[in-house]
Amino acid sequence: MQKDNINEKVQVIGGDIGRGYVKGFSVYNGETKECCFKSIVSLGREIDFTEHKDPIYLEVDGEEYFAGILAEVEGYSPTANNMESKVTMTAEKLLYALLNKLAVADTVKIMLGVPNKSYNKRTLNEVIEAYKGKNIKILDRITKKFKSILIEDISIFRESDAALLWELRNQATTNKPIGMVTVGFRTTEFTYFDKGMKFNDKKSKSLELGNKTALEYVQRELNDKYNLSKELFEIDSNIGDYDKLKERGYKILSEKIGQEVDSYWINTEEMDIYFGGGTAQKMKIYNGVLIEAPQMATAKGLYVVGTKIFR
């Protein structure tokens, strides 16, 4: 199912600009490229970068900025990608950071992931108007390397569908109904497919549950019991800190989503149900199985879709 862009001048890239993390994937001239970094940007500045793993410090259109974990811990005015739109100033900067990581060719075509409810003409037109035909000039302030990248084409595709397509990439068809539960930062996508992988809109929905639900529990506990005020991205990043509280938060989230699955899909016993998204790795899965590469599957699937759409 996967197609390499061997000896082609245009590179296809799958981009998943989520609220929690940016994920990207591409195969070009036989070389696999992928990235995953936090969806945060901030004002940039000169510091000692040797203490930081994989720092992102870019200059685009005369504006210098940090992205990823560097923006969180070292940047002024860190801004998380909380809005759903893919054309905000924050989303735009994150997209350029993704391109700096993955683009090998001078010309690219991008397949962007969007939630089910945003998979419409309006969103597509917004994305095309913002990015198609744009020539991006990126200076990596750390490596001093310069890239000039033309976005020749760009389109959108449902995130949950892309993740499932990657998971089932070696299957020609399916003989059971399939449910795909993609747990994101703020929302969880419930996507239903009839036999033969036919998308069923009536049995698909978005639910306001996700990583944010678990982190907000921790945030409230820290504030109420310890008088500590922490941003959600700080709680998410601090590995080792607040682990018992986070464990409880993800336990609550797991139970909520498990109950929703059985309530919404009344035929779960005849279905194959898959769970994806980076948050799903932290959860207990009650009524399905965790897909391969749950955090990266959407970006990989978007790349595969892109190789078919951008022919």
Predicted confidence (pLDDT) per residue in 121-156, tens digit: 999 999 999 999 999 999 999 999 999 999 999 999
The pLDDT, as a whole number, for residue 1 is 45
Assigned architecture for domain 170-213+226-294: 2-Layer Sandwich (3.30)
Task: Return the pLDDT at 68.
Answer: 96
3-class state of residue 302 by DSSP: helix
* Integer Cα distance of 221 and 214 in angstroms: 11
Decide yes or no: CATH 3.30.750.200 for domain 10-161+298-309.
no
Number of other CB atoms surrounding residue 252 within 10 Å: 13
Dist. CA 289–CA 283, nearest whole Å: 11
Give tens-digit pLDDT for 92-127.
999 999 999 999 999 999 999 999 899 999 999 999
Which residue in this structure is represented by tokens 């040797």?
Answer: 50
Q: Are the beta carbons of 44 and 62 closer than 8 angstroms?
A: no
Q: Note the pLDDT tens digit of each residue in 48-96.
A: 999 899 999 999 999 999 999 999 999 999 999 999 999 999 999 999 9
pTM of the model: 0.92
Which residue ranges does the chain devote to CATH 3.30.420.40? 10-161+298-309, 170-213+226-294
DSSP letter for each residue of 185-215: SS-EEEEEEETTTEEEEEEEEEES-SHHHHH
Give the integer Cα–Cα distance in Å for 48 and 74. 10
pLDDT in tens, 256-283: 999 999 999 999 999 999 999 999 999 9
Closest to 188 in 3D by CA, of 152, 166, 212, 172: 212
For 107, phi then psi, to 5°, come to -125, 130
Task: Identify any residues that bridge with 114 across adjacent strands, giving them in sequence order.
Answer: 158
